[in-house]
Structure 1
Amino acid sequence: MTHGAWLIAQHSPQDDFREYALGKMATLLKSAEVDAKDYALMVDRVRVHKGLPQIYGSQARCLDGHTALYPLLKQEAANHERDSIGWAQTLEETKGDLEIGKPCT
């Protein structure tokens, strides 16, 4: 799956379509045909939209005027989960990129 196809699925307003794409991505991840970060972003997006805690810590929101991660299933395991799929960026680096704690509206 190309990055462009992932981008369309990731931002689709249709939950069913995102879940379908995630299933396809899981299969392709094993053969390195999907970027690990794209896969992680899709997993977390699908879980957050289902009201479930995220695995990789890639999804943020504005909460009480500050950028915050959506809840994580196991924050202490996020870096291990990232490493297990080949996503080199740590949770701490992602928090910096997402400006966690900074004011937002």
Structure 2
Amino acid sequence: MFRLSCCGTVGPEDYMKMPHSTGNYPWSCCDIKDNKEIKTCSAVEVYRRGCNDVLIHSLKSGGKLLGGIVLGIAGVELIGIIFALCLANSIKNDERRTMRV
């Protein structure tokens, strides 16, 4: 995957284990950013990290960020509920005080 800077599931060796391997790696594994017209690259230009590890790391860091945002929104909602209950209680008490018997 080009944006994750990785190659293969476990590593670039995964492409060499394929039955019809030509000895070259696909363009998505290349560490060359200037030439977008290349179709394959050699072992010197390939990313060394496997996409499985990179993807798991990305999901964990993204999950932490998303979890923090969700907890922040939940905190604001909880404060809003508390204020709404206080306001409702205040209105109810005010109605009882002004009620004539």
Q: TM-score range by the shorter chain?
A: under 0.3
What TM-score does the superposition give when structure 1 sets the normalisation length? 0.20
Higher relative contact order (CA 8 A, sep 6+): 2
Tell me the TM-score normalized by structure 2: 0.20
